[in-house]
A and B are shown apart, each in its own frame.
Chain A
Amino acid sequence: MFIHNFKYSLKTLFRNKALIFWTFAFPIILGTFFNMAFSNIESSEKLDIINIAIIKNDDFNNNEIFKTAFEELSDKNNDDRLFETRYTTEEEAKKLLEDEEIVGYMKLVNDEPKLTFTTSGINETIFKYVSEEIAQTSNIIKNLSEEEIKKEMIAGNYNIDYESIYNNVIELTEEDDVRLNNVSNSNLGYTMIEFYTLIAMACLYGGILGAVAINQNLANMTNQGKRVSVSPTSKGKIILSSVLASYITQLVGVALLFLYTIFVLKVDYGNKLGLDIALAMAGSLAGLSLGVAVATTIKSNDNVKTGIIIAITMLGCFLSGMMGITMKYIIDKNIPIINKLNPASMITDGFYSLYYYDTLDRYIFDIGSLLIFAFVLIAISYISLRRQKYDSI
């Protein structure tokens, strides 16, 4: 009886086109969209070469420091290159700015840089900052040279080699001895979160399968359920085999999505695949328990129940960052309890902690809270499932 019902539960689930669309195809389609939209974001957040213009007046031609500095910063062979620089007249620069070919132009007036932009922004700020840095370097050279000359004069040496003092000072300023040690974690690709929420969504959508499968057995929910109820089979056995069938269907869907994200979308899950799979299974269980709880406690037709599960899932995914990655962070930082109760967020956070952290504390907490979530909902469903007779059907 168990296998008979199990076999037919699988058949009805796999042949239900709407169900298969939502639980199998939709996450894959959405993932493809994510991939198309987000594949460039992180690289476009890297510092780009900034297009600028410099007015070629006498001030600039005679200022060696500015000239060499901008030459160096615009040099195509330089790894630290910041700018693509055009040397133009003021008229040309204005035209370029208007056509948005450049972010701004610089004009040296009495060795002081004067900048013109259309608006404020990060590229403009960097241009301004670099021009200031060069002016500041001139200032240092001036200060230090004066200092040296003063020293020489105090020492009574009036035969000063200005050339060598100047060169020494410049050498001093060119010494790059800033010692910084970058200790960031390596996996910083935050768009991965989008794909983690996607897996979370697929896990929870799986609940729809559970809801439909269980309703097929309940006399107060469907007509088929009445038939099952009047047959000489134990309710517990039937429900268990239906739930198992829907869990397996759900896992097939999540596995397909996993394979698709790994091999086609190249999503990075870190290097602990076994733990990722365990997390997806726990997540699916949470989804299943959600579906079963909705199916048993709410008396309505399949469409309404599916709607409720979709609504809960989408809200959960929204809070865990599907529609804007920072949402999860804001909730985590300010009202963490909400995300600890939200299975979508726990699934997302589990993948995140495997990807970003080396330790497992957080992962274990996430998977534990998913299991508790599932357990509580299954307990609630059990109470309502124990009823054998109904007051109305």
Chain B
Amino acid sequence: MTVFKTFLKILNKNKFIIILYTVFLIGFGGFNMQTSDNSTNFVASKPDIMIVNYDEEKGITKDLIKYITDNSNIIELNNNEEAINDGLFYRDVNYVIYIPENYGKDFMDGKNPEIKIKSTGDYQSSFAEMLLSRYIKVANIYQKSIDNEDELISKINETLSKESEVEITSKLDTDGLAKATFYYNFASYSILACLVYVICLILSSFKDIKIQKRTIISSTNYRKLNRQLLLSNSLFSIILWGVYVALSFVLIGDVMFSNQGIIYLINSFIFTMCATTIALFIGNLVSNKNAINGIVNVIALGSSFLCGAFVPVEWLPDGVLKIAHILPSYYYISSNESLKTLEVFNLETMQPIITNMIVILGFSIIFIILTNIVSKRKQKIG
């Protein structure tokens, strides 16, 4: 009971730090993903394009603008070069098209006027360039044989209106799942940071030399003390996990009630337990209170960056992912990622996820054993 009471006291003292990590989680997990409608129809991706038109908006110029507008998200920025350059750099706009003065007239005169563009060089901008080139190419071809502007425009549009038929096979709510995966991936950071920070502080308080002297001579042996500490720490972990899960229901909604939702819960629960054992291990190893803050940041940030809690896994270099295999977060995040596309639930499809869970549990057992070895050794030294 004393263990538990002291625990609560220390917890209360450090509630600020717990709130901080939780705010991070809500801030990023909730804010980073805006939902679009989750229809099962095909939704074409649209690049963000800005058009700067120095020509009169009529005839072929007007039609070009209309075609681009229909196939992209038009971005309106202040028409000054600094705003445009900033927009490009921060990928607010992928592609900027400058239509020159007298474009329409020059085009009809067969001069094939040059168009200036600015591009970010990513796939969005490549697609934007496809759109623009497509229109000009078709227009160029027809222009050679058609002189009448209206006829030309209607021919261009007839050609460009030919669309392919598309069928979507997946019935998954991809947006919702992506959001849930992002949230739970990020949660690995919050859980790890919170648990390591709080548990280390608590253990170091218990290890305060005077207390240690007392517990060593008291009838409570170190194994029992460790067990009591493990119990109260686990209780704290479970509460933290519960809060984060409750938050996920609020922030993500629907998806959490599906089959995938249940696996997100189980997966995060196992990870929370593993994080608790890591925290206990570090807490037993490190006794300097000042060092804790640094260690928390290095461990939590390190494993989050390496395993893809912040940056999508598919963007991480292979070398980094290889290193990440030695961290439990990797297996946790990899399960979350595979949930994004998992449609059929049976033993065969679930196998990678189950393997990951077993690996995480294996990590937990290793950390428990290490913790016992460390605290036994410390016991002897006194």
Contact = CB atoms under 8 A, between A and B. Distances in A.
A and B touch in the complex (CB under 8 A): yes
Interface of A: 17-18, 21-22, 25-26, 29-30, 33-34, 36-42, 44-48, 97, 100, 106, 112-122, 124-126, 128-133, 135-136, 139-140, 143-144, 147, 172-173, 175-185, 188, 190, 323-326, 328-329, 332-333, 352, 356-357, 362
B129 interface: yes
A18 B92 CA distance: 40
Contact of B112 (A139, A177, A326): A177
A176 B115 contact: no
Interface stretch (B207-215, B226-234, B301-309, B364-372): B301-309
B294 A100 contact: no
Contact of A117 (B112, B163, B168, B316): B168
B140 interface: yes
Chain A CB count within 10 A is highest, among B44, B87, B120, B166, for: B166
Contacts of B87: 329
A367 B90 CA distance: 22
B164 interface: yes
B159 A18 contact: no
A147 B146 CA distance: 10
Given A190-B91, A323-B28, A129 B117 contact: no
Contacts of B168: 116-120
B147 interface: no
B123 interface: yes
A48 B45 contact: no
Contacts of A100: 341
Contact of A114 (B85, B91, B123, B167): B167
Given A18-B291, A178-B132, A325-B90, 15 more contacts: A29-B298, A36-B320, A47-B127, A106-B164, A117-B169, A118-B168, A133-B134, A139-B159, A175-B140, A177-B112, A178-B136, A182-B117, A185-B89, A190-B91, A329-B90
Nearest to A144: B145
19 contacts: A17-B290, A21-B294, A25-B294, A29-B298, A36-B306, A48-B123, A117-B166, A117-B169, A118-B168, A119-B170, A120-B45, A136-B162, A139-B162, A140-B138, A143-B159, A175-B140, A188-B88, A328-B90, A357-B82
B375 interface: no
B30 interface: no
A257 B142 CA distance: 59
A231 B174 CA distance: 71
Contacts of A188: 88-89, 120-121
Interface residues of B, number: 78
Contacts of A183: 98, 116-118
Contacts of A143: 155, 158-159
B133 interface: yes
Interface in B94-149: 98, 112-124, 126-127, 129-134, 136-138, 140-142, 144-145
B170 A118 contact: yes
B348 interface: no
B345 to A, nearest CB: 15
A177 B143 CA distance: 12
B169 A36 contact: no
B129 A147 contact: no
Chain B CB count within 10 A is highest, among A21, A136, A324, for: A136
B172 interface: yes
Given A119-B174, A132-B164, A190-B90, A33 B305 contact: yes
A120 B306 contact: no
A38 B311 contact: yes
Q: Is the interface of A mostly helix, strand, loop or mixed?
A: helix
Contacts of A132: 162-164
Given A120-B168, A173-B141, A37 B126 contact: no
Contacts of B88: 184-185, 188
A118 B172 CA distance: 9
Contacts of B144: 172
Interface of B: 28, 32, 42-45, 82, 85-92, 98, 112-124, 126-127, 129-134, 136-138, 140-142, 144-145, 155, 158-160, 162-170, 172, 174, 290-291, 294, 297-298, 301-302, 305-306, 308, 310-311, 314-317, 320, 341
Nearest to B144: A172
A329 B86 contact: yes
A33 B86 CA distance: 26
Contacts of A129: 44, 127, 130-131
Nearest to A106: B164
Given A22-B294, A44-B315, A115-B165, A178 B45 contact: no
Nearest to A191: B311
Contacts of B302: 29, 33
A147 B297 CA distance: 71
B158 to A, nearest CB: 8
A144 B141 contact: yes
A124 B316 CA distance: 22
A21 B316 CA distance: 27
Contacts of A114: 164-167
B317 A120 contact: no
Contacts of A181: 114-117
Interface pairs A-B: 3 shortest CB-CB: A329-B90, A45-B122, A33-B305
A39 B308 CA distance: 13
Contacts of A147: 145
Contacts of B121: 46, 184, 188
B164 A329 contact: no
B311 to A, nearest CB: 5
A143 to B, nearest CB: 7
A18 B138 contact: no
Given A44-B315, A97-B169, A140 B141 contact: yes
A178 B130 CA distance: 11
Contacts of B98: 183
Contacts of B167: 114-117
Given A178-B136, A181-B114, A120 B44 contact: yes
Nearest to A19: B290
B301 to A, nearest CB: 6
B109 to A, nearest CB: 14
A55 B144 CA distance: 36
A37 B138 contact: no
B313 to A, nearest CB: 10
A381 to B, nearest CB: 26
A135 B311 contact: no
B316 A40 contact: yes
A148 B281 CA distance: 82
Given A41-B311, A131-B164, A178-B140, A122 B123 contact: yes
Contacts of A173: 141
Nearest to A25: B294
A200 to B, nearest CB: 17
A144 B140 CA distance: 13
Nearest to B167: A116
A182 B310 CA distance: 33
A74 B279 CA distance: 52
